[in-house]
Amino acid sequence: MHLATSGGFSTLVGRSFAQHAGVPFFPFVEALEAAIAAAPTELLSVVTERFAELGHISPELVAATPKLAEGEGQLRVFRATTGFLAALAMHKPLLMVLEDLHWADSASLALLLYLGRQLQTMPILVVGTYRDIDVGRDHPLESVMRELTRERVVDEVVLQGVPAAATGQIIASRLGLEEQPAELASLIHSRSEGNPFFTEELLKALVDQGVLGRPDEPLVPEPVASIDIPRSVRSVISHRVARLPSETQATLRLASVLGHEFRLDALLAATERTEEAVLEDLSAAVTAQLVTARGGLDDRFGFVHALIQQTLYEEIPYPQRRALHRRVGEALEMSRQRPDSRRSGAWPRRRSIGSLRSAPETGFATLRADG
């Protein structure tokens, strides 16, 4: 946003929320209200005359909203919205950011598709963000993305965890420091694994719990390494885990006892479930982007973030945790006593898991005009 503004763009932002997923055009209301507020006087003077159908998105956008005949309403609203944004962009190139499109209503997604098809002739850049774990094959946004990709008007960028240097920049910015705190950045990056949200929440927890003193005081690594997971981070992780079947959650809790990274054969030895069921659990966890398939001769898996493993582990009631440790210990002891166990058949026979792959955590689509 800062780069766009400094480059001479006008910027608009619209947000979607789970609580308003059924409200028509919800993310566009915020963006268009900001557009009206920023529009030059000569454009505002003709809004009611030329783009009156904007009132069907929000009555506050125009002085008088025309009645529309059945069957023609949506198309006229789409044309008015696109025309108004195009007219606004003639005064200044326009950047419109639509956040969390996985929660957008169907009318907003239809308008996004219509707008995306017109962008090749307009100085407009539309950036949409969404969580791909919430956009399955049957999600309406998936079909919009497919159509825009087919027409070659969309670039999709997958967001990965940021490098340690970027983590340092986030920390320096939040603490108001001129230089990056290298030691603190390294410790937080090792726990957040480059997730900006986790980085900010861990930093906030350090401040709230008094672990961080003045910027010029030396950092004590131990408290940072053992800091409790912030409630906000725990809530996000728990919400993602809770979407899975209870049996899959139980398998993941058992895997969390094995550690951040674990072997499939060790998990199979420690569980009472069948190999087929465990593989289905892991496949579901990979799809939910909680676990990644690391591969290798011993079929290793790993939690996407160390904080996911830690959250799962800490949510196990103590008596059950003790029982799981005993079960895992017995399984690992068996593996040490029988080094040729896989050849002798002591370990359960394993299927190929080459088809299990992890997906990136976050994606966003950029709808752009060529050139």
Letter string b/e over residues 167-197, b meaning 16 or more CB atoms within 10 A of that residue's CB: bbebbbeeeeeeebbeebbebbbebbbbbee
Identify whether residues 261 and 191 lie together within a single domain: no
pLDDT of residue 225: 56
Identify whether residues 189 and 331 lie together within a single domain: no
193 Ramachandran zone, left/alpha/beta (phi>0; psi -120 to 50): left
Selection from 306, 311, 298, 220 nearest residue 266 by Cα: 298
**Residues 237, 242, 243, 244, Cα dihedral to 10°:** 110
Q: Determine, yes or no, domain membership for 352.
A: no
pLDDT of residue 306: 87
Q: What is the CATH number of the domain that holds 254?
A: 1.10.10
Domain containing 206: what range? 164-228
pLDDT of residue 360: 37
Residue 185 corresponds to which tokens in the numbers above?
């950045």
Entry pTM:
0.69
Identify whether residues 223 and 239 lie together within a single domain: no
Q: What is the largest CA-CA distance in the chain?
A: 84
Question: Beta strand 362-368 with 124-130: parallel, antiparallel or unpaired?
Answer: antiparallel
Digitized pLDDT (tens) for each residue of the chain, 371 residues in all: 777 777 778 899 999 998 998 899 999 999 999 999 889 999 988 988 899 999 989 888 887 777 876 667 789 999 999 999 999 999 899 999 999 999 999 999 999 999 999 988 889 999 999 988 888 888 999 999 999 999 999 998 888 888 989 999 998 888 888 888 888 888 888 888 888 888 998 888 887 777 665 555 555 545 555 667 888 889 989 988 999 999 999 999 999 999 999 999 889 989 989 999 999 999 999 988 899 988 765 689 999 888 899 999 999 998 899 999 998 888 777 766 655 544 333 444 333 333 333 333 333 344 433 33
pLDDT of residue 367: 44
Identify whether residues 104 and 128 lie together within a single domain: yes
Identify whether residues 240 and 139 lie together within a single domain: no
pLDDT of residue 337: 66
Identify whether residues 10 and 140 lie together within a single domain: yes
- β-sheet bridge partners, residue 15: 99
Identify whether residues 91 and 140 lie together within a single domain: yes
Identify whether residues 185 and 249 lie together within a single domain: no
Selection from 348, 337, 265, 261 nearest residue 306 by Cα: 261
Question: Beta strand 94-99 with 10-15: parallel, antiparallel or unpaired?
Answer: parallel
Q: Determine, yes or no, domain membership for 353.
A: no
Angle at 222 between CA 221 and CA 223, to 5 degrees: 100
Identify whether residues 134 and 7 lie together within a single domain: yes
Residue 238 corresponds to which tokens in the numbers above?
């728990």
The strand order across the sheet containing 291-295 reads 261-263, 300-303, 291-295
